[in-house]
Structure 1
């Protein structure tokens, strides 16, 4: 049985500015371990350069108190649109989902900057849960990153 493509989207206001968020996530993701250690414990470059299409990054992160890993390739980096996509290659999430693509887009609306997280995926098994906890992780991560830069 073929699985259906699924999509989850969350949008969060980001006070320190969309340029800051995009620059850090695209070009300096290794700094996220210092800014949000409760969420991301490691960000290791395995191929290429940070901020470059085709580069491969290995993450160690914690979702719902559980340590996880993900190996992703960077693609669709667009500095003008402030967008970046991570295609899942290996890791805990590949045990539940196939063809997972995580896209981060920053835009300004009415003078405020917003970070939009989009998870495109297919369930490997119909009984597998949708990645709601991963989407919540991204929301909490963005909020904590904002607090790191902007203060409480």
Structure 2
């Protein structure tokens, strides 16, 4: 029996969705200087920066632990400021059978909203829902937004 799940988080943004999308797609190496307590480094292993099919590695801290995530950019949609990362290596996919993160932006009631969707498969019921990872991504989006709206 598959234990597939999806969690969606919403973060109100003061900057535009395009700004956040462009950082995630074209300037991910800058995130380490914007949020050094969360992201330590970004490396492009194969492909082109911000291109579908590219393989990347993030070094980051989550819940006090230094972790690594190897990901493939699965999809990009400029019109919805959307980028999809599929984890293929690192500590998180040692816990979850599958793990995909989608970042996109939408306008709701006249406000710009950053939306993070995590789709995952747990190997058994002992493995928790990745709510702490969602909290991490929501906080990271807020830090990226704050960085781009400072006077």
Q: TM-score range by the shorter chain?
A: over 0.9
Matches of 1:65 and 1:150 in 2, distance apart?
A: 28
* Structure 2 counterpart of 1:133: 132
User: RMSD of the TM alignment (CA)?
Assistant: 1.3
Matches of 2:142 and 2:74 in 1, distance apart?
A: 24
Q: How does 1:9-48 map to 2 (within 5 A)?
A: 9-48=8-47
Q: How does 1:84-123 map to 2 (within 5 A)?
A: 84-123=83-122
Q: What SS class does the counterpart of residue 80 from structure 1 fall into?
A: helix
Matches of 2:117 and 2:27 in 1, distance apart?
A: 20
Runs of at least 5 residues in structure 2 that lack an aligned partner in the other structure: none
TM-superposed deviation, 1:125: 2.6
In the alignment, is the contact (CA less than 8 A) between 1:7 and 1:118 conserved in 2? Answer: yes
In the alignment, is the contact (CA less than 8 A) between 1:9 and 1:119 conserved in 2? Answer: yes
Matches of 2:94 and 2:124 in 1, distance apart?
A: 10
TM-superposed deviation, 1:4: 2.1
In the alignment, is the contact (CA less than 8 A) between 2:82 and 2:105 conserved in 1? Answer: yes
Matches of 1:113 and 1:141 in 2, distance apart?
A: 16
